[in-house]
């Protein structure tokens, strides 16, 4: 494993000394937004985690190495390279490593690498899910399978409402993944706090969530806990408006025959253009919010 996994000294020391660490993905850097906004956002997320008493561990594949705790220079490198960096899910990992290539990690891949490094908590924007029509196309994100298998719990703002949220929650239910709402009983839908679907449990403090994560590990229950943290009220978009925008974007994607791994970036790009950038600002703010909560939970977890 040493041949493939590179963990920064700061992260290695933190794990060995039970200090709070929060994993971060790198797809948001290379595929989430244009340069230099992507790099500014990634560095700000790390700063927020440190301000809240934890250590950030941004994860990526750099020259074929599974890199945990990449440097600001490496973040800038990924940001400048942008879409030329492969978006890497579970299936891509062995190929990219064998070829010595770069990869931006999705939720699934970040969980895998964080688990290899011994990190228990990961903060992201939103998780993947079952795509609309997934009951016939079987277009289901690898994120969901990873949540059921890998022992890295995830703080997110729910799942993007471009997905079928009802089927997404049913899939998680089937796989036995607990969905906790932070100060909410409703599963958030990324851009908006409302979805019409309920979480399994509402918890009102980082300590309460940390205790649940600790018990899960002590019971040796495989898989993650999904912690749904709604976008801050002031950045939440109107549900009716965003639903209409998404419907229009989905209709255009269908007419153009956009499918598979191309569908999510296509829809997010269309949504950003239709909302004149407001969706991007909401995206950034919810990531900051999740980083803060992730750090607070990690801090509580390390003290138990």
Residue 187, SS3?
coil
Reported pTM: 0.94
Query: What pLDDT score was predicted for residue 142?
Result: 93
Question: How far from 234 is each of 16, 47, 143, CA to CA, in Å?
Answer: 39, 22, 28
CA 118 to chain centre: 18
Query: What pLDDT score was predicted for residue 46?
Result: 98
Q: Does domain 1-119 have CATH number 3.40.50.1010?
A: no
pLDDT tens digits, 227-283: 999 999 999 988 888 888 888 887 888 888 887 667 777 877 778 788 877 888 899
Rounded distance between C-alpha atoms, residue 145 and residue 179, angstroms:
14
Yes or no: say if 152 and 121 are a contact pair by the CB < 8 Å rule: yes
Query: What pLDDT score was predicted for residue 261?
Result: 67
What CATH architecture is 125-304? 3-Layer(aba) Sandwich (3.40)
Among 29, 41, 43, which Cα is nearest to 71's? 43
pLDDT in tens, the chain (304 residues): 889 999 999 999 999 999 999 999 999 999 888 899 999 999 999 999 999 999 999 999 999 999 999 999 999 999 999 999 999 999 999 999 999 999 999 999 999 999 999 999 999 999 999 988 888 888 899 999 999 999 999 999 999 878 899 999 999 999 999 999 999 999 999 989 989 999 999 999 999 999 999 999 999 999 999 999 999 999 998 888 888 888 888 788 888 888 766 777 787 777 878 887 788 889 999 999 999 999 999 999 999 9
Query: What pLDDT score was predicted for residue 1?
Result: 80
| Exposure letters 25-40 (e unless 16+ CB within 10 A, then b) | bbbbbbbbbeeeebbe
| Exposure letters 97-128 (e unless 16+ CB within 10 A, then b) | beeebbbbbbbbbbbbbbbbbebbbbbbbbbb
Q: Which member of 25, 146, 194, 300 is catalytic?
A: 25
Among 199, 170, 177, 201, which Cα is nearest to 186's? 199
Token pair recorded at residue 279: 């969706």
Rounded distance between C-alpha atoms, residue 192 and residue 279, angstroms:
10
Q: Which member of 87, 160, 216, 270 is catalytic?
A: 160
Rounded distance between C-alpha atoms, residue 85 and residue 78, angstroms:
7
Q: Where are the domains of the chain?
A: 1-119, 125-304
pLDDT tens digits, 24-44: 999 999 988 889 999 999 999
Query: What pLDDT score was predicted for residue 11?
Result: 98
222 in catalytic set: no
Yes or no: say if 237 and 279 are a contact pair by the CB < 8 Å rule: yes
The strand pair at 55-62 and 21-24 is best described as parallel
| Residues with Cβ within 8 Å of residue 4, at least 6 apart in sequence | 64, 65, 66, 97
25 in catalytic set: yes
């Amino acid at each position: 494993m040493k041949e493939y996994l590179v963990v920064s000294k700061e992260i290695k020391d933190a794990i060995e000394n039970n200090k709070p660490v929060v994993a971060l993905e790198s797809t948001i850097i290379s595929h989430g937004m244009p340069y230099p906004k992507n790099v500014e956002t990634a560095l700000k997320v790390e700063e927020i985690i440190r301000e809240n008493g934890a250590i950030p561990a941004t994860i990526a594949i750099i020259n074929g190495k599974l890199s945990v705790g990449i440097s600001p220079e490496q973040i800038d490198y990924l940001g400048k390279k942008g879409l030329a960096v492969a978006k890497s899910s579970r299936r891509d990992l062995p190929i990219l490593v064998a070829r010595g290539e770069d990869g931006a990690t999705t939720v699934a891949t970040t969980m895998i690498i964080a688990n290899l490094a011994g990190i228990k908590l990961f903060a992201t924007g939103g998780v993947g899910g079952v795509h609309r029509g997934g009951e016939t196309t079987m277009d289901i994100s690898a994120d969901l399978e990873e949540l059921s298998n890998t022992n890295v719990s995830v703080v997110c703002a729910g799942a993007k409402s471009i997905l079928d949220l009802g089927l997404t929650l049913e899939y998680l239910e089937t796989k036995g993944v607990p969905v906790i709402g932070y100060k909410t009983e409703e599963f958030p839908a990324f851009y908006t706090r409302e979805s019409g679907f309920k979480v399994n449990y509402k918890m009102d403090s980082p300590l309460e969530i940390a205790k649940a994560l600790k018990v899960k590990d002590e019971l040796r229950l495989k898989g993650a806990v999904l912690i749904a943290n709604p976008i801050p009220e002031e950045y939440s978009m109107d549900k009716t408006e965003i639903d209409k925008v998404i419907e229009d974007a989905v209709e255009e994607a269908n007419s153009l025959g956009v499918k598979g791994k191309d569908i999510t970036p296509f829809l997010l790009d269309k949504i950003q253009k239709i909302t004149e950038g407001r969706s991007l600002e909401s995206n950034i703010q919810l990531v900051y919010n999740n980083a803060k909560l992730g750090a607070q939970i990690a801090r509580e977890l390390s003290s138990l």
